[in-house]
Amino acid sequence: MSNVDYKKRALVLSFICALVIIALAMTIISLIQSLKDDSDFNPVEKHLYATVLESGNNYVKVSDLEKNESYMFMTKNKYDEGDLVSISYIQNNDDVTTKNIEIVAKKNEIEDLNNTSDNEIPTTSVSTSNGATTTSKSSSKTTSTTSQKVVSNESDVVSFFKEEYENYGNYEKEKSIPEKAKKGFVTIVDFLFYDGTIKGKKFSELTNAAKAKVIYYALLIDSKIDNKWPDYKNTIKNKATDLKAKLIAKYMEVTTSICDKNTHACDVARDDFKILKKSLNLTWNVIKDAAKYSYGKITTYISAWYETWRDN
The verdict on 149 and 244 lying in the same domain is yes
**Residues whose CB falls within 8 Å of the CB of residue 263, separated by 6 or more in sequence, listed in order:** 209
Whole-number Cα distances in Å, 131 to 32, 126, 256: 81, 13, 39
The verdict on 168 and 80 lying in the same domain is no
The verdict on 33 and 53 lying in the same domain is no
Share of the chain above pLDDT 90, in %: 3
Residue-wise DSSP of 117-176: HTSPPPEEEEEEETTEEEEEEESS-----------S-THHHHHHHHHHHHHGGGGTT-SS
The verdict on 135 and 273 lying in the same domain is yes
Residue-wise DSSP of 208-219: HHHHHHHHHHHH
Lowest average pLDDT, out of 138-142, 172-176, 308-312, goes to 138-142
Residue 61: exposed, middle, or buried by beta-carbon count in 10 A (0-12, 13-18, 19+)? middle
What is the tens place of the pLDDT at every residue in 62-96?
Answer: 888 777 788 888 888 888 888 888 888 888 777 88
The verdict on 238 and 161 lying in the same domain is yes
CATH of the domain at 101: 2.40.50.320
120 band by pLDDT with thresholds 50, 70 and 90? very low
What is the domain extent for residue 33?
A: 1-40
Backbone angles phi, psi at 132, to 5 degrees: -100, 140
Calpha distance 172→228 (Å, rounded): 8
The verdict on 89 and 8 lying in the same domain is no
Q: Do the Cβ atoms of 222 and 244 come closer than 8 Å?
A: yes
* pLDDT confidence of residue 217: 92
What is the tens place of the pLDDT at every residue in 43-60?
Answer: 888 877 888 888 888 888
299 band by pLDDT with thresholds 50, 70 and 90? low
Residue 27, pLDDT above cutoff 90: no
Name the percent of the chain in helix, strand, coil, to the closest 5: 55, 20, 25
Q: Do the Cβ atoms of 194 and 145 come closer than 8 Å?
A: no
* pLDDT confidence of residue 142: 36
298 band by pLDDT with thresholds 50, 70 and 90? low
The verdict on 217 and 81 lying in the same domain is no
Backbone angles phi, psi at 50, to 5 degrees: -150, 165
The verdict on 57 and 174 lying in the same domain is no
| Domain count along the chain | 3
The verdict on 149 and 279 lying in the same domain is yes
* pLDDT confidence of residue 214: 92
What is the tens place of the pLDDT at every residue in 6-26?
Answer: 666 777 677 777 777 887 878
The verdict on 86 and 121 lying in the same domain is no
What's the CA dihedral at 272, 275, 278, 280 to 10 degrees? -70
